[in-house]
């Protein structure tokens, strides 16, 4: 299946955001040292087992930048050796902008060439309600500092339909991103997850209903397009040539290895993951998540992309055209403006993305 992607989970945060359900713990230098050492050991083990080449490396979290440039550089070098990391590999690190002590120059020298900065909003009051530790000024300083270090592939995270957000404040956040001339924007509708503080207080949160969320999302899609950010996935937008190569591995159903507690993998047709604890990770306790790479899974993932379910890629993967029954299952949605169907395949519209789970369940019958 070609070169794989490598995902490294850094589970440390200064403080957990009230909407977040990712696995994360409090940070300390001692815990970070121990974790980095174990991470490097497990990377060696997987490198020896898989004997695969990688062309993307993604540090997610948590807050990867919290462990500092020295540890990140060490892990990059370990992955480079263990997975014969390609010279042109895309290497992404997620960054939170509340601290201004990140050594971007050192990370750049180690080969990190893409940053994903957790902006979320360009409105200080919205940031406070989201439990973020940074303000807009710190975010601006972080972006400027990254640019001075030579980063020319920067992504900003935005959240849609957050408490107290209005169409006007969302527009200002989008304008902020465009004025910084970043190359990529990930724009997510806030989802209230179980086992989070937001879930416990959901009845008291001043957030949009489903119809208002849809309107805000479609407004964001249009506004981002005005600024030259074209949608290539439900929640991802970029300037030409700046799609996230690592994230496309997920949507194209390509292979990747996830290293760290709660990290998921897809290798040799098998899906598996580490449990949500240091103990599971340190003891290499891996849990099966079943078979992967089926036709149904391929279709489900492809329909998240603006390129849609393409017949040429389907044929390359499965040796046949997309079966006619799949097309017939969703033909009626074309008249509703939720998707397009032509000889190339099936493409969801932005309106279709909003009800993609339903459409996907219908296409799979």
Taking residue 37's Cβ as centre, other Cβ atoms within 10 Å add up to 11
How far from 302 is each of 26, 185, 362, CA to CA, in Å? 36, 20, 15
For residue 6, the surrounding DSSP H or E stretch is strand 4-10
How far from 330 is each of 166, 234, 264, CA to CA, in Å? 34, 19, 31
Whose tokens are 């899609």? That residue is 221
Q: What pLDDT is attached to residue 208?
A: 81
Whose tokens are 């389907």? That residue is 314
What is the dihedral angle through the alpha carbons of 94, 305, 3, 186, rounded to the nearest 10 degrees?
-10
Spatial separation of the C-alpha atoms in residues 148 and 340, rounded to whole Å: 43
Domain edges within the chain: 4-249, 295-365
Task: Domain 295-365: give its CATH code.
Answer: 1.10.10.920
For residue 150, the Cα-to-chain-centroid distance in whole angstroms is 23
Tokens of 123: 């409105």
Spatial separation of the C-alpha atoms in residues 48 and 211, rounded to whole Å: 50
| Residues 128 and 165 sit within 8 Å (Cβ to Cβ) | no
Spatial separation of the C-alpha atoms in residues 262 and 255, rounded to whole Å: 17
Taking residue 268's Cβ as centre, other Cβ atoms within 10 Å add up to 11
Spatial separation of the C-alpha atoms in residues 92 and 144, rounded to whole Å: 17
Burial of 325 (0-12, 13-18, 19+ CB in 10 A): exposed
| Residues 57 and 6 sit within 8 Å (Cβ to Cβ) | yes
| Residues 173 and 186 sit within 8 Å (Cβ to Cβ) | no
Burial of 279 (0-12, 13-18, 19+ CB in 10 A): exposed
Query: Bridge-partner residues for 115, per DSSP?
Result: 93, 154
Query: Bridge-partner residues for 305, per DSSP?
Result: 233
pLDDT in tens, the chain (365 residues): 589 999 999 999 988 888 888 888 899 999 999 999 999 999 999 999 999 999 999 999 989 999 999 999 999 999 999 999 999 999 999 999 988 789 999 999 999 999 999 999 999 999 999 999 999 999 999 999 999 999 999 999 999 999 999 999 999 999 999 999 999 999 999 988 888 888 888 877 878 888 999 999 999 999 999 999 999 999 999 999 999 999 999 999 999 999 999 999 999 999 999 999 999 999 999 999 999 999 999 999 999 999 999 999 999 999 999 999 999 999 999 999 999 999 899 999 999 999 999 999 999 98
Closest CA to 281 of 98, 10, 87, 6: 10
Q: What pLDDT is attached to residue 1?
A: 58
Spatial separation of the C-alpha atoms in residues 203 and 197, rounded to whole Å: 12
Tokens of 351: 């309106």
| Residues 56 and 6 sit within 8 Å (Cβ to Cβ) | yes
CATH of 4-249, one of 3.20.20.70, 3.40.50.10490, 3.40.50.2300, 3.40.50.150: 3.20.20.70
Spatial separation of the C-alpha atoms in residues 79 and 99, rounded to whole Å: 26
| Residues 53 and 86 sit within 8 Å (Cβ to Cβ) | yes
């Amino acid at each position: 299946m070609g070169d794989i992607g490598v995902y490294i989970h850094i589970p440390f945060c200064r403080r957990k955001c009230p909407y977040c359900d990712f696995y994360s713990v409090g940070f300390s230098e001692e815990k970070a040292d121990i974790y980095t050492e174990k991470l490097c050991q497990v990377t060696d083990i997987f490198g020896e087992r898989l004997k695969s080449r990688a062309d993307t490396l993604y540090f997610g979290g948590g807050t990867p930048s919290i462990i500092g440039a020295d540890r990140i550089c060490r892990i990059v070098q370990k992955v480079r050796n263990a997975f014969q990391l390609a010279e042109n590999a895309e290497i992404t690190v997620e960054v939170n902008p509340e601290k201004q002590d990140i050594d971007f120059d050192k990370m750049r020298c180690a080969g990190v060439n893409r940053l994903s900065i957790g902006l979320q909003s360009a409105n200080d009051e919205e940031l406070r309600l989201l439990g973020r530790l940074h303000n807009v000024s710190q975010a601006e300083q972080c972006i400027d500092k990254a640019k001075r270090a030579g980063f020319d592939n920067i992504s900003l995270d935005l959240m849609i339909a957050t408490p107290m957000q209005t169409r006007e404040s969302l527009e200002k956040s989008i304008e902020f991103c465009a004025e910084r001339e970043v190359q990529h924007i990930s724009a997510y509708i806030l989802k209230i997850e179980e086992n989070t503080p937001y879930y416990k207080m959901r009845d008291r949160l001043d957030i949009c209903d489903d119809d208002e969320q849809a309107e805000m999302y479609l407004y964001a899609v249009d506004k981002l397009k005005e600024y030259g950010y074209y949608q290539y996935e439900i929640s991802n937008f970029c300037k030409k040539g700046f799609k996230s190569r690592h994230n496309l591995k997920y949507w194209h159903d390509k292979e990747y290895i996830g290293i760290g507690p709660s990290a998921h993998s897809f290798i040799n047709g098998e899906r598996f993951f580490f449990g949500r604890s240091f103990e599971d990770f340190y003891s290499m306790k891996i849990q099966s998540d079943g078979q992967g790479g089926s036709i149904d899974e391929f279709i489900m993932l492809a329909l998240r992309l603006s390129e849609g379910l393409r017949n040429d890629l389907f044929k390359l993967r499965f040796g046949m055209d997309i079966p006619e029954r799949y097309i017939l299952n969703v033909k009626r949605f074309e008249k509703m403006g939720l998707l397009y169907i032509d000889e190339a395949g099936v493409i969801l519209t932005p309106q279709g993305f909003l009800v993609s789970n339903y459409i996907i369940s219908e296409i799979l019958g």
